Amino acid sequence: MSQRRSVSDVFTVTGSGNMAEAERAEEAGGEPTISREKTAEELKEQANEYFRVKDYDRAVQYYTQAIGLSPDTAIYYGNRSLAYLRTECYGYALADASRAIQLDAKYIKGYYRRAASNMALGKLKAALKDYETVVKVRPHDKDAQMKFQECSKLVRQKAFERAIACEQHNRSVVDSLDIEGMTIEDEYTGPQLKDGNVTIDFMLELMQFYKDQKKLHRKCVYQMLVQVKDILSKLPSLVEISLEKSQQVTVCGDTHGQFYDLMNIFHLNGLPSENNPYIFNGDFVDRGSFSVEVIVTLFGFKLLYPAQFHLLRGNHETDTMNQMYGFEGEVKAKYSAQMFQLFSEVFQWLPLAMCVNQRVLIMHGGLFSEDGVTLDQIRSIERNRQPPDSGPMCDLLWSDPQPQDGRSSSKRGVSCQFGPDVTRRFLEENGLDYIIRSHEVKPEGYEVSHNGLCVTVFSAPNYCDQMGNKGAYIHLNGSDLKPKFHQFEAVPHPNVKPMMYANSLLQMGMM
């Protein structure tokens, strides 16, 4: 997430862009170049077609081929950047946008794409610089004006929130709440805690209430958040469980605010109970517009079955992501900014990894940017904070596997990608069998990679209403600990679009 170009850098590289143009002009005299460029154009058209039908991976492949034939054409990078944005490869999107601008400093879309990449990465100031550039070049462009103003508003808002956060350092929202004093109005007919406790009846009533698109009373949410914070804060950063030979646990991946699909998991696989334990591997919120319903339901089951129902933190249980991808907006719309603050406090206490029978390690993202990390190091992570830009805590939430050996820089622009050799060494050093992680959408809902040592599970089918993927969950049995995969399709949900509450800049069709 380093060396981002400033606006002035952009203008200094204009020269090299012109040089490339001059070279192109010179080369254009020869026939081979002309036919190469013609083929490149055809490949771009084909890629655009794949993009239109939302096959972003193929679109990227074709743009890449076009770039191979004509490596100095800004628009190919600009288009591929957008395809990367759609597949959440913000690191690659940023690199392509920067390259496009480098090749052609007047290519406005390049600035839009770079701004969008930076926005997605939570780098608001960097994004603002690019919107500023667009506004300067096109002072009468209303769309550019609006994006510039929206982004400056966000930068100011964030600065303000940081200032407030400093003042309130180490103080919990809980201290400024009078939960007991909150009254539940007579008109409210929804579920309520029994003597302040979550019961199975409460949970059943709650899930039905949510299916009917009703809102749990804020007092109940606050009560649950305070209790769940207490439970989570007593857990280690690495939670260890053991399964008897006859026992089984279900591991689910990202759910991302897709409440109706979560209900379908419980329908297919049974409600959580002492005898039906679950592990939810992070990214419960953001994107899907029923994130409140998902997280309150999951927290409810955590309160009901603290020893059998497990939750791990994902990269979306963080302030930066929640601000951009909808959860903060959703909580503010349904409740209040103060309640979001409390959610944020609770998220900071979510454990970062789990180990089953000392053999299977589970985390949201994956392994580490450096060799030699031990389970003891994971245990000792001080997790009660927003994740840093690098290091083991960041890697656990953000990294991805890659097919080739070694490590490379992240397609997302955060943490790294790790190869099969990295996984094998880590497992050997720590006496483990394999890892289960989530974090990436997969067409089949799961994927086995690194010669069976790295398993991905993703439980948000037809992710964002548009990816067409299946969802999956895994059964782990105490007898052999082999992953058994179960796939499922998306179910209908009420007509509330994903990203409804996301930052408006992300909704403007940029990504």
Q: Cβ contacts of residue 264 below 8 Å, gap of 6+?
A: 488, 491
Shortest distance in whole angstroms from residue 315 CB to Mn ion: 4
Shortest distance in whole angstroms from residue 438 CB to Mn ion: 7
Residue 441: burial class (beta carbons within 10 Å; 0-12, 13-18, 19+): buried
User: Among residues 335 and 418, whose Cβ is nearest to Mn ion?
Assistant: 418
Rg of the chain over Cα atoms, rounded to whole angstroms, equals: 24
* Interacting residue with Mn ion among 287, 411, 439, 450 (CB under 5 A): 439
User: Among residues 75 and 381, whose Cβ is nearest to Mn ion?
Assistant: 381
Q: Cβ contacts of residue 81 below 8 Å, gap of 6+?
A: 92, 93, 94, 96, 97, 100, 110, 113, 114, 117
DSSP-derived secondary structure letter, 362: E
**Is 310 one of the catalytic residues?**
no
Shortest distance in whole angstroms from residue 342 CB to Mn ion: 22
Cα–Cα distances in Å, from 189 out to 159, 182, 214, 216, 293? Answer: 40, 16, 10, 10, 17
Pair of tokens at residue 505: 């800049």
Shortest distance in whole angstroms from residue 349 CB to Mn ion: 18
> Pattern 242-281, binding to Mn ion, x per CB under 5 A?
----------------------------------------
In this structure, which amino acid lies at residue 248? Q
> Pattern 319-358, binding to Mn ion, x per CB under 5 A?
----------------------------------------
Gap between the Cα atoms of 156 and 142, Å rounded: 21
- Applying CB under 5 A, the span of 95-103, 237-245, 313-321, 401-409 interacting with Mn ion comes to 313-321
395 near 416, Cβ under 8 Å? yes
* Interacting residue with Mn ion among 104, 283, 293, 317 (CB under 5 A): 283
How big is the chain, counted in residues?
511
Residue position matching structure tokens 């759910």? 255
Pair of tokens at residue 191: 């579920």
- Applying CB under 5 A, the span of 307-315, 366-374, 462-470, 482-490 interacting with Mn ion comes to 307-315
**Residues binding Mn ion: number (CB under 5 A):** 4
Binding to Mn ion, residues 406-435 (CB under 5 A): none
From the candidates 310, 316, 439, 493, which is the catalytic residue? 316
User: Among residues 283 and 328, whose Cβ is nearest to Mn ion?
Assistant: 283
Pair of tokens at residue 291: 């994130």
Gap between the Cα atoms of 411 and 93, Å rounded: 8
Gap between the Cα atoms of 508 and 84, Å rounded: 17
Which residue number places its CB atom closest to Mn ion?
439
User: Among residues 78 and 122, whose Cβ is nearest to Mn ion?
Assistant: 122
Shortest distance in whole angstroms from residue 497 CB to Mn ion: 20
Query: SS3 for 167?
Result: helix
* Interacting residue with Mn ion among 65, 264, 315, 348 (CB under 5 A): 315
Shortest distance in whole angstroms from residue 447 CB to Mn ion: 15
User: Among residues 283 and 395, whose Cβ is nearest to Mn ion?
Assistant: 283
Q: Quick check: 493 binds Mn ion (CB under 5 A)? A: no
Residue 480: burial class (beta carbons within 10 Å; 0-12, 13-18, 19+): exposed
Shortest distance in whole angstroms from residue 414 CB to Mn ion: 10
User: Among residues 303 and 393, whose Cβ is nearest to Mn ion?
Assistant: 393
Query: SS3 for 428?
Result: helix
- Applying CB under 5 A, the span of 4-12, 93-101, 306-314, 329-337 interacting with Mn ion comes to 306-314
Which residues does the annotation mark as catalytic? 316
Q: What residue ranges bind Mn ion (CB under 5 A)?
A: 283, 314-315, 439
